[in-house]
Amino acid sequence: MKPLKYFKILMNILFILSIPVFLITTNTRLLINSPFVYSMEFNKMDIASKTKIEPQELLSISQQIRSYFNNNQDYLNIQTFINGIKQPLFNDREISHMLDVKKLVKMTYSTQLISGFFLALMFFIDFIFRKKTLRRNLFWGSLITVAGIIIVGIGVLFSFDQIFILFHQLSFTNDLWILDPSKDYLIKIFNPEFFYDSTIYIAVATIAESLIILSLLRFMHIKPTK
Q: For 168-196, what is each residue's pLDDT tens digit?
A: 999 999 999 999 999 999 999 999 999 99
What's the pLDDT score for residue 220?
57
Phi first, then psi: what are they for 82, rounded to 5°? -115, 115
What's the pLDDT score for residue 219?
66
What's the pLDDT score for residue 1?
53
Integer angstrom CA distances of residue 170 from 6, 164, 165, 167, 177: 32, 10, 9, 5, 12
> Which of the residues in the chain have pLDDT under 70?
1, 219-226
DSSP state of 78: -
What's the pLDDT score for residue 224?
47
Three-state SS at 77:
coil
The Cα 11–Cα 109 span in angstroms is 22
DSSP string, 156-201: HHHHHHHHHHHHHHHH-SSSTT---TTT-HHHHHS-HHHHHHHHHH
Burial string for 185-195 (b: 16+ CB within 10 Å, else e) reads: bbbbbbbeebe
The whole model's pTM is what? 0.91
Three-state SS at 51:
helix
Burial category of 158 from C-beta neighbours within 10 Å (exposed 0-12, middle 13-18, buried 19 and up): exposed
Which residues, including other chains, have CB under 8 Å from residue 143's CB and lie 6 or more apart? 210, 214
